[in-house]
Structure 1
Amino acid sequence: MILWDLDFDNLLHSGCNLLNNYLIAHPEVLEELRSCQSPSRLAQGATVLVIQGEKLARNDDINGAIEKFSKAQQWDNKLKFDSQARAKELANQTKVEGLVDEGNSRLEEKKFKEALAAYTKALKLDPKAEIPADSWNTLCWDGSLQKQAADVLPACEKAVTLAPEDSNNRDSRGLARALIGNTQGAIEDFEAYIAQTKDKDSKAQRQRWVKDLRAGKNPFTEAELKKLRN
């Protein structure tokens, strides 16, 4: 003989336990089934709500994210953060990452003005946006070789600021400075490179550039620029 437990509370408790993982993974269902809302289950569901909110924020759905965050904090009072600020921060972060990616793509395409514009926008949104000194330096050097030195000079300055000990950054800025007529600045940068490089050929080349610049000559003829591009 089988004895069935027909106590409603016990049956309800068993049902909630059977659905435990599903309810945690689907907080919108848990919200409707108040009888299954134990403190432990709500706390775990709150974690899922936070994840959902973060995803919405990254998709620029600020209001949807705030709603998820607020509900999560109702379910778990240990969650202490500003829902609106967090949603905006995540949305902003996604925009910044997109702009940096755009800058990288434009740089690969040799679209230097567009690359600089994308990087600059990213920094305006987040001054701490991670754009490596190498990226700024590549923009500086390649842009200068394509006769866009004046346009990419801000990238040159950024590269030197981020990694002043890297003589390659000084070298690139020296090229840009020379091409826009800042002879003294170019000489200073090339001499900094000369003092650090161990490449004999590059050193001799820069020494020749400095000699020409001091003599009032332009070492960066079309033929010289073509060699550097290759």
Structure 2
Amino acid sequence: GRGEGGGGGGRGRGRFNRNQREQLPKVPINNQIREREVRLLGADRELIGLMSSSEALDLAMEQGLDLVMIAAEAKPPVCRIMDYNKFKFDQDKKTKEAAKKQKTLQVTEKELKMRYNIDIADYNVRKKAALKFLANGDRVKVTCQFRGREQDYQDLAIEMFKKLADELSEVGKVEGRPGGKATGRSLIMTIAPLATKAQVQADKKKKAKRDRGGARDDDDDDVEELVEDELETA
């Protein structure tokens, strides 16, 4: 008879045993699909059409694959032919990769040190570094230290900080006063990125996709997102 468990390749199909029952998927697959009529998508996400769930399951089994309901709320429900075990393996892999990427989404604070009388070349080097950090979604802490009577020139440092803040305004916003805050013998200005780490990563991903020759059809993207949304917690 038709199996209920995801097998891929037709191996090991059959009813779940006692241990497997604890791992039943949260979405109906194979014989768990009881609806009379379903809208079927093929293994390559192509639309096959309306048919009975038994016919859809026959098509899946002929290919050694599973029939998985990916949109139970649709009228009629949408099912897709796929290797469910392989899909779950890929989802677990994506989850682990996402956990690693999460670390890269943590905002770090980069510190740049400047002198009140810094020359234009060194100033531009630090400004370029600040632009890079902010564009990458990181905070920038700019510090100007004064030695001895150099504190008499604090106004020059404040003007320099204001100039830097203005030149970085397209990618960052100063936290507090644009001229910085005096702390002991230092003047400190912190600039927060306008874009979050997540936005930066998303933009890079879109750009890479365009550079590869364009995105897939929107319909394909929608179907894939639908599948992942329905099954990633299964």
TM-score normalized by the length of structure 2: 0.21
Higher strand share: 2
Higher helix share: 1
TM-score normalized by the length of structure 1: 0.22
Larger relative contact order, structure 1 or 2 (CA cutoff 8 Å, min sep 6): 2
